[in-house]
Structure 1
Amino acid sequence: MIKILVNDGMKIEAIEKLKKMGLEVIDKHYVGEELEEKIKEVDVIIVRSATKVRKNLIDEALKTKKLKLVVRGGVGLDNIDVEYAEKNNIKVLNTPNASSVSVAELTIAHMFALSRFVYLSNLTMREGKWEKKKYQGIELAGKTLGLIGFGRIAKEVAKRAQVLGMKVIYNDKLGELKEYKTCKYCNLQEVLKQADFVSLHIPFCSKEGATIGKEELKIMKKEAYIINCARGGVIDEKALLDALNEGEIAGAGLDVFENEPNPNEDLVNHPKVSVTPHIGGTTKEAQERIGEEIVKIVEKEFLGGVQNGNAKAV
């Protein structure tokens, strides 16, 4: 019997569907040595962001050569050593479509929270303060949104921003995408220079380090805001703190951090920062879609047989 480890949780409806397919499902979170032992027993491991499938864990799996498939429920594969897994005939897949709308909506939510001081006035009112005159905000209509990275999530953000009356410019490593004529392609410096709101939608690469550091923040308008609902590390947090304290930018909306689940307290408590605890994909609808996509992946790979060799992540 095919054995599946759901290590970071999944909707119960999806788990039941897998069981009805005749598969054994272990719905439990393992860490450290326990995970290293359990990985030797399973054919599939399903993870979210919490579990890191690195070389050391893959090496443990290779001792029995039972593991055939790693599924990341969500967008991105930066918590998995994809190349090393594929090299050893372990296929790696994810669910890139499931949470795009959810993350896009949270991005817009942070923009509203910052532009109208929702995050701060909510707190001060609970402290018994009525600071109406202090919180003069700005409208999103007529402002320029700069997107760094123009993949699935960024495109969803762009659609919503345009409905709100925003102008959208973007930069992407693939260059200009000519089918998106309502959004203007610019180089990175122009995006930073022109945008009233800069939103990041790129993976983190440890070899390259932060995409946005001290120099990039200096290029931005003093009245501009930066949003990161992508990955911790794409913004240099020390440089961001300095920029906020020195008035180089107006504020930041952050859903992801360099050190999770123990983020930099100076950022979390900063009066110019709107924060959420990595909840971009945490909506009822997204979780349902993730579960449905994972069931389809497992069904396709195992009812048809997992093909070893030449496996490609998507």
Structure 2
Amino acid sequence: MGVILATSRSFSDGDLDLVGRARAAGHEVVRGPAHHGLAELAPLLAAAEGWIAGTGPVTDEHLAAAPNLRVVARYGVGTEAVDLDAALRRGIPVTNTPGANADAVADHAVGLMLAALRFIPDGDRRVRAGDWSVRRGRELGAATVGIVGFGRIGQGVARRLGGFGSRVLATDPFLPADVLVERGAEPIDLDELFRSADLITLHAPGGQTLVDAARLDSIRPGLILVNTARPDLVDEAAIADALRDGRLGAYAADTLNGDTAASASPLLADDLADRVTVTPHLGAQTTQAVDNMGSMSLDDVLAVLAGRSPAHPVSPRL
């Protein structure tokens, strides 16, 4: 019986029995730590033929500790934590799960929009403190919404906004204008989007700062900014300044710089609590998304172990 190492906390934690599916295919699933600490993981890697990897690092040192490893299946979309060059040198294909959590994150982005527009978290806090005064919000259907990054998640957001009746603008350097139009958005360049939108939602890849002090100087007063993508897309200090001086109306995000160590983030200051909503990376945490990511990653591992090509390769199949 072959060994499949799973280091994602939520693998097979949805409605589907993926551990049973692996067993039926003749493989044993062994659990490992999500942080991917090499000292703890090395004994498990030594026996692994397949690795369903969470968000922790997958380095050349990890791969060197796995002489029998034939495939790494990233449980999720991002592969920035995986040393793809090292995997390629060692002849180990890497896969991911594109689109598996797109609907979940699109739902969450729209939820954060509504929370910010209607002061929902602040209203809950005030009622619990005995304050039943009303803050007047705005309707999503009356807003011009700018989508930065029009991949699967951005397009899912656009579809949902169509039901509200919002005007939808979008920018994406990798897609032609006719594709944006066909999928429900008005094409626009990034700077003009920031000048034109009432609400902006970020769905771009990380590794770039799209919202800084200079760009915040160009926005419509009271703009609402939503970020379910990456924390480095925004300058958090600049956002805090813009919230305090009224240029920015609200910020709602599913991530912060440093994440669980983000207690020092300027956006968590007490005086901004009524304008900032932060959730703990739960955008992709639905039963359906967990089942999708688990099924896609396991199916790719089983395919490689059976001598077939995986359906979702990130690096070439060698």
TM-score between both structures, scaled by the size of structure 2: 0.88
Q: 1:249 to 1:287 in 2, by over 3 A?
A: same
1:277 and 2:280 are equivalent in the alignment:
yes
Q: Deviations over 1:254-275 (max 9, x none)?
A: 1012212222454235221111
Determine the structure 2 residue equivalent to 1:93.
Answer: 95
The SS at the match of 2:296 is helix
Partner Cα distance (1:224, 1:84) in 2:
44
Could you tell me which amino acid in structure 1 is paired with residue 24 of structure 2? K
The SS at the match of 1:286 is helix
Q: How does 1:23-172 map to 2 (within 5 A)?
A: 23-29=27-33, 31-32=36-37, 33-49=39-55, 51-53=56-58, 55=59, 58-132=60-134, 135-172=135-172
Partner Cα distance (1:262, 1:243) in 2:
23
Partner Cα distance (2:188, 2:307) in 1:
44
Determine the structure 1 residue equivalent to 2:23.
Answer: 19
- 2:95/2:297 contact within 8 Å kept: no
Give unmatched runs, 5+ long, in structure 2. none
Give the percent of matched residue pairs that are identical in Structure 1 and Structure 2. 27
- 2:237/2:267 contact within 8 Å kept: no
Partner Cα distance (1:107, 1:60) in 2:
35
- 1:78/1:203 contact within 8 Å kept: no
Determine the structure 2 residue equivalent to 1:290.
Answer: 293
The SS at the match of 2:141 is coil
Could you tell me which amino acid in structure 2 is paired with residue 158 of structure 1? A
Could you tell me which amino acid in structure 2 is paired with residue 238 of structure 1? A
Determine the structure 2 residue equivalent to 1:216.
Answer: 215
Determine the structure 2 residue equivalent to 1:233.
Answer: 232
Deviation at 1:310, TM superposition (A): 9.8
Deviation at 1:292, TM superposition (A): 1.8
Q: 1:138 to 1:11 in 2, by over 3 A?
A: same
Deviation at 1:155, TM superposition (A): 0.3
Q: 1:80 to 1:180 in 2, by over 3 A?
A: same
Return the match for 1:301 from 285, 299, 304.
Answer: 304
Q: 1:267 to 1:173 in 2, by over 3 A?
A: same
Deviation at 1:212, TM superposition (A): 2.0
Partner Cα distance (1:163, 1:240) in 2:
30
The SS at the match of 1:179 is helix
Query: RMSD of the alignment, in Å?
Result: 2.2
Partner Cα distance (1:293, 1:169) in 2:
32
Deviation at 1:311, TM superposition (A): 3.4
Could you tell me which amino acid in structure 1 is paired with residue 80 of structure 2? D
Moved more, 97-106 or 175-184: 175-184
Partner Cα distance (1:5, 1:64) in 2:
11
Partner Cα distance (2:68, 2:46) in 1:
7
Could you tell me which amino acid in structure 2 is paired with residue 39 of structure 1? L
Deviation at 1:243, TM superposition (A): 1.8
Deviation at 1:210, TM superposition (A): 2.0
The SS at the match of 1:141 is helix
Could you tell me which amino acid in structure 2 is paired with residue 105 of structure 1? D
1:254 and 2:256 are equivalent in the alignment:
no
Partner Cα distance (2:236, 2:86) in 1:
30
Q: 1:194 to 1:290 in 2, by over 3 A?
A: same
Partner Cα distance (2:248, 2:174) in 1:
28
Could you tell me which amino acid in structure 2 is paired with residue 11 of structure 1? S
- 1:74/1:281 contact within 8 Å kept: no
Partner Cα distance (2:281, 2:256) in 1:
8
Moved more, 141-150 or 172-181: 172-181
Q: How does 1:196-211 map to 2 (within 5 A)?
A: 196-205=198-207, 209-211=208-210
Q: How does 1:172-187 map to 2 (within 5 A)?
A: 172-181=172-181, 182-187=184-189
Q: 1:244 to 1:258 in 2, by over 3 A?
A: same
Structure 1 runs (4+) greater than 4 angstroms displaced: none
- 1:214/1:240 contact within 8 Å kept: yes
Give unmatched runs, 5+ long, in structure 1. none
- 1:256/1:277 contact within 8 Å kept: yes
TM-score between both structures, scaled by the size of structure 1: 0.89
Could you tell me which amino acid in structure 1 is paired with residue 151 of structure 2? G
- 1:40/1:62 contact within 8 Å kept: no
Q: 1:188 to 1:293 in 2, by over 3 A?
A: same
Deviation at 1:8, TM superposition (A): 1.7
